[in-house]
Amino acid sequence: MALYVDIKKKFGDFELDVKFNSESSDIISLFGLSGSGKSVTLKCIAGIIKPDRGNIVINDTVVFDSERKINLPPQKRRIGYLPQSYALFPSMTVKDNIKTGLINHKKSERETLVCELVDKFGLENVKNLFPHQLSGGQQQRVALARALSTSPKLLLLDEPFSSLDSQIKSQLMYDLIKSLDEFKSDVIFVSHNKDEVYSISDKVCTISNGYCHSIREKADAFSKPLCKTDALLLGCENILDITFRNGNRIVTDSGIEFEITDDIDFTSIAFYSDCVKFCTLGDINIKAKIKLIVEKESHSIFILQISDNKKFITAKLRNNDIDRYIVNDAVNIGLKKEDIFLLK
Amino acid sequence: MDLYPLFNSIRISLISTAIVFFVGIFSAYYISKTNSIIKGILDVIFTLPLVLPPTVVGYLLIKLLGPNHFIGEFFLNTFDIRLTMNWWSAIFATTVVIFPLMYRTARGAFQSFDANLSDTAMTLGLSNSYIFWRIRMPYCKQGVIAGAILAFARALGEYGATSMIAGYTPGKTATISTTVYQLWRLNNDELAFRWIVINILISAVVLLFINIIESKYQRKGAKYGSLR
């Protein structure tokens, strides 16, 4: 199953420019902060919003092509769409909600198909209830059953976990992964949560300010952020701008100085806070002052300052190791070069 | 006591409410979907009868439908039908006067509609008319019904434009409001008082209905809200 998306759309100052494709049946994550254009992209693919320019091809079917003036209505695209709010029809029971997707089937078939879906998604006990009588998890299952009832060629999931409590989220995530395993077509999963993205998807497209041009294997995307947005999305606590560069000698705005071996073009660097070691065994060793210690359940966050720089860096230490450090102490910290990401 | 005015008033109100019900809903639906200058202009035109004095509406209607004018003349010459001074002539007046009430309440209801519902419905392959009647209308039902009842109540009380275009002929074009006016002119307090009691009773029942529907709507609103 193949998917090709290349769309552009202007909304006032905001410009959407999204391009990615996939050849195999994959779960593709559209990974970005809120307001980055994720939901709009889904709506364009579903046919709810018309892009200004571009193409959308699903399994050799051109559903949108601005040059050839093709724009299939949502009804003809065979796409399952699960919006953030689930959009269950409030005036219909669970069963009737699912039945809406089967409107093109014969009446006799409809009943059997609904029963199959009700059974598959464990909705037997609630099938005659109305949406407002269901829990968040049940609502999600109904919405998924309804979206899959049309046997879509592509499934779009818009932040399916955003309106749920974190306590019930993990169980629902396992359920969703199981359901998606059985679904043999492409899935586009929109999220701003890196744990969800990692657990659910095969491939990742990061999107920021409406711009998205790279699709990467999950492992690659998570181990090698390419730009500041990538690093931010992956939760890199330290994202530092280069303030001075002389040949291979680099100085950042936090005061970290080091030399690179390759002649690569980059404007910032990033590293995780747990890569900062409290020792001098790194490739880069610096003296820093502890400005603040924030205790968490299993570890503590150290906010560190190098000489008088305004930009601080963040380090992380397990709680049983923190007793010897107090605020305003000077410490030696070390960083390994391989832990530093060079960002464009 | 001749009850013809009651019968005539209710007949006129029901028919004009039925007309306004459909026309108002569809105008509201298309206005809530368009987004342009046309929307602003049409919205003003559709709402205008609400703020214009009924005499102005009546005057404009006579200038359009009167036997010596434009449409009225055409109907008289072609079909031999006089559009004014019949019992049903009042329907023209009430329809125009109550239209904004239906239109604005329906528009409010449609604007509160969650667009995600219709978006998702489209991806499920549902046709636009299915979405309108089975998803949008049930969602906006209370608002639309409240608008219709309000329009009906206003139609019952319509006097100005009606008296100009249908006049007052006992047993023919008399309505409750024109009858009360006539009885006051004739100093017939006793009969006038009876009609006033009938009028107040009908209006009170109608308002009670609207309150019941609104309280139901609020409860349902809270329920729907929990979905998001």
Taking Cα atoms as reference points, which of A147, A192, A144 lies closest to residue A37?
A: A192
Does residue A118 contact residue A97 with C-beta atoms inside 8 Å?
no
| Stretch 140-199 of chain A: residues touching chain B, C-beta under 8 Å | 146-147, 149-150, 163
Does residue A51 contact residue A125 with C-beta atoms inside 8 Å?
no
Mutation target for A interface from B117, B120, B228: give the one with most A CBs within 10 A.
B120
Contacts of B138 in chain A (CB under 8 A): 90-91
> Residue B37 contacts by C-beta under 8 Å, 6 or more apart in sequence?
none
Which of A76, A90, A100 minimises the CB distance to B227? A90
Which pLDDT score is estimated for B179? 92
Among A44-48, A128-132, A319-323, B81-85, name the one with the lowest average pLDDT.
A319-323
User: What's the pLDDT tens digit per position in B121-151?
Assistant: 999 999 999 999 999 988 888 888 889 998 9
Measured in degrees and rounded to the nearest 5, phi and psi for residue B116 equal -60, -30
User: What's the pLDDT tens digit per position in B194-217?
Assistant: 999 999 999 899 889 888 887 876
Minimum Cα–Cα distance from B117: chain A residue: A87
Which pLDDT score is estimated for B226? 40
pTM assigned to the model: 0.80
Token pair in block for residue A297? 């359940």
- B56 Cα to chain A: minimum distance (Å): 43
- Superfamily holding B4-215: MetI-like (1.10.3720.10)
Judged by CB atoms closer than 8 Å, whether chains meet at B119 and A46 is answered as yes
Judged by CB atoms closer than 8 Å, whether chains meet at A163 and B124 is answered as no
CA distance A51 to A285: 51
Size of interface A-B (CB pairs under 8 A): 78
Measured in degrees and rounded to the nearest 5, phi and psi for residue A27 equal -100, 110
Looking at residue B209, its amino acid is F
CA distance A6 to A57: 9
Burial code of B133-171, b = ≥16 C-beta within 10 A, e = fewer?
A: ebbbbebbbbbbbbbbbbbbbbbbbbbbbbbbbbbbeee
CA distance A138 to A132: 10
Minimum Cα–Cα distance from A99: chain B residue: B124
Beta pairing, strands A154-158 & A79-82: parallel
User: What's the pLDDT tens digit per position in A132-181?
Assistant: 999 888 999 999 999 999 999 999 999 998 878 877 888 888 888 888 88
| Stretch 131-160 of chain B: residues touching chain A, C-beta under 8 Å | 134-135, 138-139
Minimum Cα–Cα distance from B126: chain A residue: A75
Which pLDDT score is estimated for A6? 94
pLDDT at residue B228 is higher than 70: no
Higher-scoring residue by pLDDT: A223, A261: A223
DSSP letter string over B35-84?
A: -SHHHHHHHHHHHHHHHS-HHHHHHHHHHHHSTTSHHHHHHHHHH----S
| CB neighbours of residue A145 within 10 Å | 23
Question: For chain B, which residues make up each domain, given as ranges?
Answer: 4-215
Structure-derived torsion over alpha carbons of residues A245, A246, A247, A252, reported in degrees to the nearest 10: -30
